[in-house]
């Protein structure tokens, strides 16, 4: 009889433990912590957390009226030291030590102009040396002959591949600089980028491709391998003369949502495996968008093509470096003309194909304004500094008025 009682108690205890385990797992899944196992086919580095970690959250400028939040953040594994916005502002950029600015250049965002500003217009004691008839400049640290403080197209060249994205750069930049400088060392990396209105950017890329551009030498490096077998949307050497409808109808056209893809950690969504299939597409899009938002929020700096003055001010206050020449707010005549020529059906189709970029840009606009307000509050000489950006040929008099 006692044996039966013990058996019943044992079975009851086992059932209770099982029920408690099920309840605990259910709780975790309710908070999105079991998502990785459910979608392990997308990535071996898939790690989803219920919210941004406290260290990441502190990198986003906060205020009592903060409107920019990142919930359900996705954790990436990066083996280099990335400096976020708040840290960049608080500690500054040390050009003499081990700090490196890394420019993530997304096609057709105005990055070429911004890249030239970086090598030619910064007020530095030891400015970049830009020899005539040479595209690249030598941006060496003071008192060195080969240590670069800027990793970009116009300084180091495309060392990590043509228009390398976030996934490529974070995996490649340290090794590329070690090889370039001939020695191995740990550095602090200040990632920066420029974003643009997705519709204008997409149509600008379309026109560029229509004239013969391909970027087919891009590496598409992800997860330790180069994806060389990505299908092309065209036959022959390029897509010259392509019409917009044909451009949009290519399902594996990398122009679609380009900004989101280039800012996201692609390893979280299986890199380029099954890129042009519909399997898990909604989940893949969610992962890429969330990752892009988080990486953008953790960048030391980003600017918007449509907000040149604010973008310049934020860069100068964040890095404590000034530009000798102001950013120009270029006319969007060509892209505006292209938009005006769209049929209502084409207009809607372009928006659908760039829906992730549209959401990313809305997030970026809010974050840019939040950073601007934060820096403005902290700047005791805001009026003078802002006036120098928007009216570089005017000076402020002692009575607070402006004069030429």
How do the domains of the chain map onto residue ranges? 81-390
pLDDT of residue 6: 58
pLDDT in tens, the chain (404 residues): 555 555 666 666 666 666 555 554 444 333 333 333 333 344 334 333 333 333 333 434 433 333 344 445 567 789 999 999 999 999 999 999 999 999 999 999 999 999 999 999 999 999 999 999 899 999 999 999 999 999 999 999 999 999 999 999 999 999 999 999 999 999 999 999 999 999 999 999 999 999 999 998 999 999 999 998 889 999 999 999 999 999 999 999 999 999 999 999 999 999 998 765 666 899 999 999 999 999 999 999 999 999 999 999 999 999 999 999 999 877 666 677 788 899 999 999 999 999 999 999 999 999 999 999 999 999 999 999 999 999 987 655 545 554 43
| pLDDT the model gives residue 280 | 84
Say if CB 239 and CB 185 are below 8 A apart. no
Do residues 327 and 312 lie in contact, with contact meaning Cβ atoms separated by under 8 Å? yes
Vertex 232, ends 228 and 233: CA angle to 5°? 165
Which residues in 259-316 belong to E strands, given as ranges? 301-304
Task: Give the predicted TM-score (pTM) of the model.
Answer: 0.81
Q: Which of 163, 200, 220, 256 is catalytic?
A: 163
Closest-CA residue to 165 (of 25, 38, 259, 67): 259
What φ, ψ does residue 99 adopt, rounded to 5°? -85, 140
CB 74 within 8 A of CB 269: no
Rounded CA-CA distance 97/303 in Å is 25
CATH number of 81-390: 3.40.50
Note whether 292 and 191 are within 8 A (CB). no
Active-site residue, 105 included: no
| pLDDT at site 329 | 79
Q: Reduced to 3 states, what is the DSSP secondary structure of residue 129?
A: strand
């Amino acid at each position: 009889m006692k044996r039966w009682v013990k058996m019943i108690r044992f079975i009851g205890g086992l059932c209770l433990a099982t029920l408690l385990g099920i309840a605990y797992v259910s709780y975790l899944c309710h908070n999105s912590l079991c998502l990785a196992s459910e979608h392990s086919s997308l990535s071996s580095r898939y790690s989803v957390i219920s919210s941004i970690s406290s260290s990441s959250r502190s990198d986003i400028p906060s205020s009592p009226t903060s409107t920019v939040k990142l919930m359900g953040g996705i954790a990436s594994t990066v083996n280099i030291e990335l400096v976020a916005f708040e840290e960049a502002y608080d500690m500054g950029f040390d050009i003499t030590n081990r700090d490196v600015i890394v420019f993530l250049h997304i096609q057709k965002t105005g990055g070429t102009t911004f890249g030239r500003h970086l090598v030619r217009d910064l007020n530095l004691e030891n400015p970049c040396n830009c020899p005539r008839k040479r595209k690249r400049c030598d941006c060496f640290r003071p008192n060195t002959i080969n240590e670069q403080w800027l990793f970009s197209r116009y300084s180091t060249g495309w060392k990590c591949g043509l228009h390398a994205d976030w996934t490529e750069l974070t995996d490649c930049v340290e090794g590329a600089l070690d090889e370039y400088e001939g020695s191995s060392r740990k550095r602090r990396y200040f990632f920066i980028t420029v974003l643009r209105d997705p519709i204008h950017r997409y149509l600008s890329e379309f026109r560029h491709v229509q004239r013969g551009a391909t970027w087919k030498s891009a590496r598409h490096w992800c997860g330790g391998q180069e994806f060389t077998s990505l299908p092309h949307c065209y036959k022959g050497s390029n897509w010259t003369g392509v019409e917009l409808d044909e451009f949009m109808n290519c399902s594996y056209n990398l122009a679609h949502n380009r900004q989101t893809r280039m800012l996201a950690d692609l390893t979280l969504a299986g890199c380029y495996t099954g890129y042009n299939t519909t399997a898990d597409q909604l989940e893949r899009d969610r992962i890429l968008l969330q990752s892009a938002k988080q990486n953008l929020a953790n960048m030391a700096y980003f600017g918007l093509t449509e907000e040149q003055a604010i973008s310049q001010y934020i860069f100068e206050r964040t890095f404590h470096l000034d530009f000798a020449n102001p950013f120009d707010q270029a006319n969007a005549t060509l892209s505006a003309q292209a938009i005006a020529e769209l049929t209502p059906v084409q207009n809607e189709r372009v928006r659908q194909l760039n829906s992730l970029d549209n959401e990313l840009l809305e997030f970026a606009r809010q974050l840019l304004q939040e950073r601007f307000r934060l820096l403005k509050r902290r700047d005791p000489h805001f009026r003078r500094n802002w006036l120098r950006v928007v009216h570089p040929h005017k000076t402020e008099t002692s009575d607070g008025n402006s004069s030429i």
